[in-house]
Structure 1
Amino acid sequence: MPLSPTEMDARMDAHFGFEARDDVGGVLATLAADVEHDIVGWPTGPTHGRDGARPFYEQLFADLADGKVERLRRLYGDNFMVDDSLWSGRAPGTPFGLAGGGRPLSFRLLHVVEFADDGAIRRENVWVDLAAIQQQLAAG
């Protein structure tokens, strides 16, 4: 039986909650053991399994801080969702190879997420508005 939109929202909101707390273990627990994790444009390309996704989150949490995700729109299908959100926080590290200097940062995120029958995220594709990130971090 496919997950309902309410169930998918709860799973995605939990995932974002762990990200907001820089909780690598919590984020990884929301992923299926054999997850396909694809941050489009990330140097490693798609990774597989929780251990494959771990380095991305460790780097992300070093580069970004105080993150909040504002849901703009979600679209739903059978065990998948498309999530359009706005991330805002600070950039103390070097997000996407750019010196953050602790400056404020906000950018759009687009997630395409497929869920396993048990509710775990089995495939996560993420696109970030790199142009907005470059514009904000190049300005300072």
Structure 2
Amino acid sequence: MTPAEMENLVEDHLRAEGNGDPAGAVANYTQDVEHDVVGFPGGPVRGIPAALDFYRQLVTDFRTEGEKRLHTYYADDACVIENLMQGTVTGAMLGIPGNNRHIEFRVLHVFEFQDGKIARENVWLDGASIAAQLTA
């Protein structure tokens, strides 16, 4: 895939996630997608239904209010994206009650592509920063 094709899929995914649209967040996934948010219970998961469950919970617990791209790296069928994320924790994050706190943290996405879709998403969060902000 070209970087532009990858970018279109990733931007559609991140836009849907940011808009609180779980179905849209998984719309460009392969049927057997591997979705892995490192540190979250129950992961990694396989398949659209399991990924959809994750996004349904995420949009209940976290409201995205901004996302700034810091770095992007492309390979033949993969890309790595580092973002600075801002939002409000309306539920819990990393098992810590959010109490509607506004937080900001770095997130690293590793996407792999197959047949014009996202076949794997691996997400790394700055958990120490999240925990510090939620317990301050």
Per the normalisation by structure 1, the TM-score is 0.93
Q: 1:18·1:24 contact (CA, 8 Å) conserved in 2?
A: yes
Alignment-mate amino acid for residue 129 of structure 1: D
The structure where strand makes up a greater share of residues is: 2
**Is 1:96 aligned with 2:91?**
no
For residues 105-120 of structure 1, what are the structure 2 equivalents within 5 Å?
Answer: 105-118=103-116, 120=117
Aligned to 1:129: 126
Shift >3 Å, 4+ stretches: none
Match of 2:83 in 1: 85
What is the total number of aligned residue pairs between the two structures? 136
Instruction: Give, in whole Å, the separation in 1 of the partners of 2:16 and 2:33.
Output: 17
The residue aligned with 1:42 is 40
* Stretch moving more, 65-74 or 84-93: 65-74
Asked if 1:13 corresponds to 2:43, the answer is no
CA distance in 1, matches of 2:122, 2:77: 14
State yes or no: 1:58 paired with 2:56: yes
- TM-score (norm. length: structure 2): 0.95
For structure 2, the 5+ residue unaligned runs are none
Distance 2:14 2:6 in 1: 12
Q: Distance in 1 between matches of 2:115 and 2:132?
A: 40
Q: Distance in 2 between matches of 1:67 and 1:59?
A: 17
Conserved? CA contact 1:37–1:47, under 8 Å: yes
Cα distance in 2 between the residues matched to 1:122 and 1:94 = 28
Q: Which amino acid is 1:22 matched to?
A: G
Say if 2:35 and 2:45, in contact at 8 Å, map to a contact too. Answer: yes
Note if contact 2:64-2:85 (Cα within 8 Å) is conserved in structure 1: no
Identity level (%)? 41
Give the distance between the partners of 1:33 and 1:12, measured in 2 at CA.
17
State how far apart, in whole Å, the 2-side matches of 1:67 and 1:126 are.
18
